[in-house]
């Protein structure tokens, strides 16, 4: 049985509270009718759906506080048409913008700028989740310290948020904080510092995991993800020791919370994004596979994009309206181990990685036929094959942009050999720019410490 753990939005809690409020209000009115209560007495009731800041600083406030943070993370990750998953897919080769809004088109064209309303919303949402997780963990430490894994869960989501900032945005993101009264402006962090912060917070999460498989395995994978970005491959492999292949950490979606953002962005009606294939010379042929390729699930359709220039929009069917998004899983852990082994650079290492990739295909899920070409005989070819397999396993889960940047930063690839380049995909016109990350939005200049993106991949 897979260890599947749901990240439920705080909207679920709110809906239940509203229902309880309706029952309480109905009882109050019935009693009032019998005893002749005044209007002032009827309207003096406290709405249980409204929690003030001080209400969270109690043992009873710990659960709604924690659920609210998880809901914020869920929303930022893949809870809408503009989310971390769609943004990173759009900047890489997984998606193209089937839109008329410059905010999405410029990201697709690798021409990221500071003033971008659509991308600013994602930046703010992820900071809300990051800062909220830290603040909630500190509050709960005083109000409801047991079980410890509840705090560990918050530090886990904090670590993932920091991973995402390091992979998605340019170097120089500040991590500011607030305590409900004052804001402490953060200093701009290099990409390396963001990943180091993530490792530290995953360490904290693991120290509080106790019996929670969700926190332990999720934190192990998130920590290894940051270590890969830091080129600490041996440490990354050790970090996922013991993670079972059937583990999944998911972002939950339902009619009571919100729809899956990938479904909203690429499959529902006149969507703002379109599945991409062989984009800009270097893009992988995600839609060009035969029927045995069960990792890339899509079908033809007659949909028209938000921009009517886009017709016959293909539908991804990996995620339905309320299918859970995938934050981390055991397949990613297996891929991390194989990438670490690839660093040995010998033919024996390449043979072992090739065999490992085929073993992963055989065990899945989904189970797909083995590759029969034989192991690559050069390191560059082995890296190409590995990242292609990784891209197919982790398709539409927010990993691809980080992988392309890692190919540049850690493997020495030139950006124009891994990112989409040349003439934009028709019907878009013009040529790609040179951005390899999303620019920190102009509003961050309200932070007196921030002066713009720093240099570095």
DSSP string spanning 59-78?
A: GGGHHHHHHHHHHHHHHHHH
3-state secondary structure of 350: helix
Residue with the two structure tokens 């659960």: 63
3-state secondary structure of 321: coil
Q: What is the pLDDT of residue 56?
A: 80
Residue 256 — pLDDT band, cuts 50, 70, 90? confident
Q: What is the dotted CATH code of the domain comprising 54-256+325-438?
A: 1.25.40.390
Residue 313 — pLDDT band, cuts 50, 70, 90? very high
Model confidence at 8: pLDDT above 90 = no
Rg (CA), the chain: 23
Q: What is the pLDDT of residue 99?
A: 96
Task: Give the mean model confidence (pLDDT) for residues 119-144.
Answer: 96
Model confidence at 29: pLDDT above 50 = no
Q: Which of 140, 122, 130 shows the shortest CA–CA distance to 177?
A: 130
Q: What is the pLDDT of residue 297?
A: 96
Which sequence spans correspond to the domains of the chain? 54-256+325-438
Residue with the two structure tokens 């921030």: 450
Q: What is the pLDDT of residue 49?
A: 58
Highest mean pLDDT among 11-20, 177-186, 370-379: 370-379
Model confidence at 416: pLDDT above 70 = yes
Model confidence, pTM: 0.89
**Can you state the percent helix, strand and coil of the chain, rounding each to 5?**
50, 10, 40
Relative to beta strand 177-178, strand 313-316 is: unpaired
Task: Give the mean model confidence (pLDDT) for residues 360-377.
Answer: 97
Q: What is the pLDDT of residue 456?
A: 66
Model confidence at 15: pLDDT above 90 = no
Q: What percent of the chain has pLDDT over 90?
A: 84
Decide: 144 and 136 in contact? Cβ < 8 Å.
no
Model confidence at 176: pLDDT above 70 = yes
Model confidence at 38: pLDDT above 80 = no
CA atoms of 169 and 297, how far apart (whole Å): 28
Residue 241 — pLDDT band, cuts 50, 70, 90? very high
Report CA 70 to chain centroid distance, whole Å: 12
Please state whether the peptide bond connecting residue 119 to the residue before it is cis, i.e. omega within 30 degrees of 0: no
Residue 41 — pLDDT band, cuts 50, 70, 90? very low
Segment among 46-55, 87-96, 415-424, 431-440 with least mean pLDDT: 46-55
Residue 50 — pLDDT band, cuts 50, 70, 90? low
Q: What is the pLDDT of residue 457?
A: 63
Relative to beta strand 313-316, strand 188-189 is: unpaired
Q: 198-216 in b/e burial notation, b at 16+ Cβ within 10 A?
A: bbbbbebbbebbeebebbb
Model confidence at 260: pLDDT above 70 = yes
Residue 179 — pLDDT band, cuts 50, 70, 90? confident
């Amino acid at each position: 049985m897979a260890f599947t753990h749901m990240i439920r939005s705080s909207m679920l809690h709110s809906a239940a509270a509203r229902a309880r409020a309706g029952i309480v209000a109905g009882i109050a009115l019935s009693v009032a009718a019998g005893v002749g209560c005044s209007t002032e007495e009827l309207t003096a009731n406290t709405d249980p759906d409204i929690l003030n800041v001080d209400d969270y600083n109690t043992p009873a406030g710990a659960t709604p506080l924690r659920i609210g943070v998880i809901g914020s993370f869920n929303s930022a990750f893949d809870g809408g048409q503009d989310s971390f998953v769609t943004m990173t897919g759009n900047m890489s080769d997984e998606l193209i913008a089937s839109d008329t809004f410059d905010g999405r088109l410029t990201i697709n064209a690798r021409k990221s700028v500071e003033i971008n309303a659509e991308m600013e919303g994602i930046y703010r949402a992820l900071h809300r989740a990051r800062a909220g997780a830290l603040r909630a963990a500190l509050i709960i430490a005083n109000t409801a310290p047991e079980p410890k894994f509840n705090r560990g869960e918050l530090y886990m989501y904090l670590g993932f948020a920091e991973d995402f900032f390091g992979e998605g945005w340019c170097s120089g993101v500040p991590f500011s904080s607030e305590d409900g009264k004052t804001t402490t402006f953060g200093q701009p962090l290099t990409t390396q510092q963001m990943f180091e912060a993530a490792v530290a917070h995953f360490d904290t999460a693991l120290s509080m995991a106790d019996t929670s498989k969700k926190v332990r395995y999720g934190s192990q994978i998130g920590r290894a993800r940051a270590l890969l970005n830091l080129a600490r491959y041996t440490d990354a492999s050790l970090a996922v020791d013991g993670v079972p292949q059937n583990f999944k950490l998911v972002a939950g979606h339902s009619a009571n919370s919100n729809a899956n953002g990938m479904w909203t962005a690429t499959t529902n009606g006149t969507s703002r994004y379109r599945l991409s294939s062989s984009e800009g010379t270097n893009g992988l042929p995600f839609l060009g596979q035969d029927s045995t390729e069960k990792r890339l699930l899509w079908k033809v359709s007659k949909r028209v994009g938000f921009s009517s220039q886009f017709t016959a929009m293909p539908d991804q069917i990996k995620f339905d309206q309320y299918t859970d998004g995938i934050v981390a899983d055991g397949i990613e852990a297996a891929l991390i181990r194989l990438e670490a082994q690839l660093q040995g650079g010998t033919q024996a290492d390449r043979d072992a990685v090739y065999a490992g990739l085929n073993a992963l295909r055989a065990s899945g899920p989904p189970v797909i036929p083995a590759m029969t070409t034989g192991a690559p005989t050069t390191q560059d070819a082995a890296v190409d094959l590995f990242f292609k397999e990784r891209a197919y396993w982790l398709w539409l889960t927010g990993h691809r942009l980080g992988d392309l940047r890692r190919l540049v930063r850690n493997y020495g690839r030139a950006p124009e050999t891994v990112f989409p380049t040349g003439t934009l995909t028709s019907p878009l016109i013009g040529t790609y720019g040179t951005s390899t990350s999303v620019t920190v939005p102009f509003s961050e200049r309200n932070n007196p410490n921030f002066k713009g993106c720093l240099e570095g991949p």
